[in-house]
Structure 1
């Protein structure tokens, strides 16, 4: 056991001694630096980089020895040494015009506080790490027949470029070319194979100007790239344009004949499609029947800088074609078609929405039309302005694209109209769907200008014009109308944004200051100009006068309406009756007279010289005398000179109405022939003449006459023996009472007979409109002298027309 424990202690002691020796050795021998690489410049200098060794190193020394050749290595000839000292990890040593074709040995020594350490020595030809000087680029030219290539020519300085022509031809150079397209910031670097002092560079765009630079390195990646050569510009050869311009149209005006002033729009071909410098555009339009339109308006001689022109197109279907030309040829044609002026456009896209992304971009999206296949879309947008027109921006999109981000020409606080149209079969364009949008709204920079339309008492009518859209800077939601007067509190009202007039009522006299402000989603804008309005006390008085005048006028109007209503009723009851005295029978003289007839039971009564037909309406008490009757009765203003019955019996012209009675009536109203409102009629008829000619021609009633004579009562007939022309002739005449006489019994003409009432009361008595108001009555004194005669006139087939001559009635 004791032997084992002794051996363990010996092992532990040995391990400790080994550890102590290693620590002492590491402190005594620091880690040397490690060479990373060098760059040799022919007949100039060499720059080497290394990795630092121990942390105690304070400075480094770079030592480069030039080995003249293999023979010199075996002799004791001293070597040419180049050195440099630095505290950094890189250093440049001068080679004293030594060529890089020599072999160079490189050593790096680190100097510490207590000791120095050196890196391993490395020896190799200088050309392995040689950096070639920049090449000289002489020219860059197009290649005929190959518009995608440029021909590059370069050169070198032999004393500085230590690569022989043989080595160049053998491919000892690695080369790169840098190509920058005109107008582009990014450059394209491409590896090229250079075996001569000229070589082609291809895969370029035709007709494009490029700036070209060149660089080389010797053989492999150990050699660094030379600096870029000088730049040279060269343009590739032009090629025929590879695509047609984007083409669109906008109908701006249509005349009465359907001719349309159309703006034709296109976009300049980009360089990638133009394949050269455009010289001009070609535009032609024709009708659907292939008739070429020669009146091209402003579309002649289109300069390559033009992107629009106007063309007058007819009302029928037509199309226009556009192409671009350069020195190599003409592009394919772009075509648009227009429907006839009277044709209906196909439907528009659905659900158009626009959402601002920031101050200068808007995301627009839509949905394709339902149940219709489209070939593409056209998106249009422009800034809405009032003073001057704005540029129409448009994009033609394919059928699968239903969203687009607008970035060109969009500014904040400016209103834009955005619309989308669908294209059908690559030809017809549908209706557009439009909306307005702001990328960012702000408060209006001006307020509306208030104008006073009318001042009526305390009522003030105002109007205003919308603020110009350039000053709105947002969507108007409301207006605030402010008005105030001296010694009165400030007042304001809100008005909807779509209203342009407002009325303030109940204003007291005074001087008012009125102005308005517009309100957008961003807030309330600036105040508009102040309008000063004076409302005086006289305006209130005038208002009162106007109100009173209106009240009086209304009362008069109501009274007039009542009178007109009463007049209409009277016309219904006392209708117009034609006057037989104005007929052609006025001058007829009967040849025969009827004999006076007297009933034995009747006393003698004085004769009445002239016959009078008295028509009046009864609405008074029955205690009037004859004078009162003529003074107060409402007389139906008609005069009769002749009457006829249905059997042809003629009542002579001497039967007349008393002019005295007619002229003294308080009201004189014409009658109409409609007697339906009068269920009971009363008439007083007085005859005095001699029937002389029973066979006189009959006076037939007019076929246009009609009336409804229900009852006639209290009719008194007095037949006098005298002539109508001799009022002094008198004779007593008896009376007969006749009951229920029907016109149906009048079949043949018969002599005058007092027992035949149909002769005494002819049908014309009814057909001539002989009627009174329902309130007609017989004065008691007159009725006592005239025995009653009852006649049933229920059936009166004849009709009366107010426009017919009285002789007919």
Structure 2
């Protein structure tokens, strides 16, 4: 037999009012107060003795779907919330009996929990420029920004302190002052000696532990410890980077840096970056990546305070056809032969890795040919052609060919047209030689006819009749 007090099954009226206030010094807590209506069937003593069951319903911008939670509202302070978060709350109650009914929900109360001191320790890195003539170096401090919701209810700021190791010399903090949540880098000037810098993240409730980094002296150089770096595109916005390194006990981590090849200044001062521990040899990078854009990706080993020179590779997350074709020019030519040269497509217009070239050839009688050229070539010799030739060159990537480059028109002499000229020249020379010979012989014959040969008297028979002495005397006289 079931015995039930009728009042235990009755539906209680809704609370007269329901108020929510933040609890000072407790960022995860709210103080909840409610008041029973005047005609409430339970006395305050019975309420305090636990005659009621309570249910709380709350939602927030991060949790828009309302959640129901059984709580004991005899305890005003409830610590089930997130810091620095706006909540909408309402409550209801019923008799502490299985057959009782819930009262209507109270009016909605809204308030925010207090801010919590930052617990996020920023990841810190740096880039260092070469020293100038005065021995000063420009350093860029880089850090990973925290989640924006940490600044919803209170301002968040960063502060930088730097000092020279073992010296009282000042460090020029440059623009590393008045840094807000949106800042992720700043620039300062340090001397050639090692320096230590600390980055603090703070809000009105307190500060997070400092992130520190040491700037090595300009004479300290890290040892090369990386063996290979490989990259695999995962989709249009992410890249898998994998590397192998020699086993050095001094390695304390690795840093992956990347930047667009079109922005060389970013590569030197403010690259995208990611830092991992010494036991990690693979990471996926996504920040700033876009399809068809070339990136320099560098992996460096960190040895305490010093980073190694690292290995740098060219990468694309997705390749496309080149935007332009190479420009041809004539390097040399002879009969039926022309040597063509070209410069590589500018890196920012390649949109991928060049796999081959196609040379488009059109003769003056509109005969066309397509010739394949290997990707590493910058010169091609075209043989067996003559007359007016029209030439263009295409570059290919894994995504296909790009447009042809500018048209080059060149006239090439035929070797067969040169031979008759040579033969006719030889014939002329031979004919001229024969003519000269004939003329010389003719002149000799004319000379013989006009100027006959006069005999020498000394050779005449008359000389035998003369007295030799007289002849000798006459010769002397």
TM-score (norm 2): 0.71
SS of the equivalent of 1:431 reads coil
**Alignment match of 1:267 (pick from 108, 120, 144):** 144
**Alignment match of 1:480 (pick from 351, 354, 358):** 358
**Preserved CA contact (<8 Å) 1:177 1:212:** no
User: Hey, what's the Cα distance between the residues in 2 that align with 1:501 and 1:225?
Assistant: 88
**Preserved CA contact (<8 Å) 2:14 2:105:** no
* Structure showing greater relative contact order (alpha-carbon pairs closer than 8 Å, 6 or more residues apart): 2
Please tell me whether residue 295 in structure 1 is matched to residue 172 in structure 2. yes
SS of the equivalent of 1:441 reads coil
User: Hey, what's the Cα distance between the residues in 2 that align with 1:366 and 1:437?
Assistant: 14
**Preserved CA contact (<8 Å) 2:92 2:106:** no
The worse-fitting range, judged by mean Cα deviation, of 259-268 and 161-170 is 161-170
C-alpha distance after superposition, 1:442-496 (max 9, x if no partner)? 4x15232414254645524331341443x53332222222222331432233333
**Alignment match of 2:319 (pick from 437, 441, 447):** 441
CA distance change for structure 1 residues 124 and 238 in 2, over 3 Å: closer, same or farther?
A: closer
Q: Matched residue pairs, number?
A: 413
Alignment match, 1:175: 54
CA distance change for structure 1 residues 167 and 288 in 2, over 3 Å: closer, same or farther?
A: same
Higher strand share: 2
CA distance change for structure 1 residues 392 and 179 in 2, over 3 Å: closer, same or farther?
A: farther
SS of the equivalent of 1:147 reads coil
User: Hey, what's the Cα distance between the residues in 2 that align with 1:355 and 1:222?
Assistant: 63
CA distance change for structure 1 residues 251 and 466 in 2, over 3 Å: closer, same or farther?
A: farther
CA distance change for structure 1 residues 128 and 386 in 2, over 3 Å: closer, same or farther?
A: same
Alignment match, 2:373: 495
User: Hey, what's the Cα distance between the residues in 1 that align with 2:106 and 2:351?
Assistant: 55
1:349-364 → structure 2 map (5 Å cutoff): 349-364=226-241
**Alignment match of 2:406 (pick from 519, 530, 533):** 530
**Preserved CA contact (<8 Å) 2:22 2:111:** yes
C-alpha distance after superposition, 1:681-721 (max 9, x if no partner)? xxxxxxxxxxxxxxxxxxxxxxxxxxxxxxxxxxxxxxxxx
1:92-491 → structure 2 map (5 Å cutoff): 125=6, 128=9, 130=11, 133=14, 137-138=18-19, 140-155=20-35, 165-178=44-57, 180=59, 183=62, 190-195=69-74, 199-206=76-83, 208-218=84-94, 219-220=96-97, 222-223=99-100, 231-252=108-129, 254-255=131-132, 259-270=136-147, 277-367=154-244, 369-385=246-262, 392-425=271-304, 427-442=305-320, 444-452=321-329, 454=331, 456-457=333-334, 458-469=337-348, 471-491=349-369
The Cα of 1:193 is off from its aligned counterpart by 1.1
1:578-589 → structure 2 map (5 Å cutoff): none
SS of the equivalent of 2:28 reads strand
The Cα of 1:233 is off from its aligned counterpart by 4.1
CA distance change for structure 1 residues 532 and 348 in 2, over 3 Å: closer, same or farther?
A: same
**Structure 2 residue runs without a partner (length 5+):** 422-477
- RMSD value over aligned CA atoms? 4.0
CA distance change for structure 1 residues 224 and 261 in 2, over 3 Å: closer, same or farther?
A: farther
**Structure 1 residue runs without a partner (length 5+):** 1-120, 546-809
The Cα of 1:148 is off from its aligned counterpart by 3.0
CA distance change for structure 1 residues 171 and 317 in 2, over 3 Å: closer, same or farther?
A: same
**Preserved CA contact (<8 Å) 2:392 2:408:** no
SS of the equivalent of 2:9 reads helix
The Cα of 1:248 is off from its aligned counterpart by 0.9
C-alpha distance after superposition, 1:95-127 (max 9, x if no partner)? xxxxxxxxxxxxxxxxxxxxxxxxxx9998475
**Preserved CA contact (<8 Å) 1:215 1:226:** no
TM-score (norm 1): 0.45
Alignment match, 1:642: none
1:28-47 → structure 2 map (5 Å cutoff): none
The Cα of 1:387 is off from its aligned counterpart by 9.2
The Cα of 1:265 is off from its aligned counterpart by 0.8
CA distance change for structure 1 residues 343 and 173 in 2, over 3 Å: closer, same or farther?
A: same
User: Hey, what's the Cα distance between the residues in 1 that align with 2:55 and 2:226?
Assistant: 52
1:400-799 → structure 2 map (5 Å cutoff): 400-425=279-304, 427-442=305-320, 444-452=321-329, 454=331, 456-457=333-334, 458-469=337-348, 471-512=349-390, 514-522=391-399, 524-535=400-411
The Cα of 1:308 is off from its aligned counterpart by 0.7
The Cα of 1:131 is off from its aligned counterpart by 7.6
The Cα of 1:290 is off from its aligned counterpart by 3.1
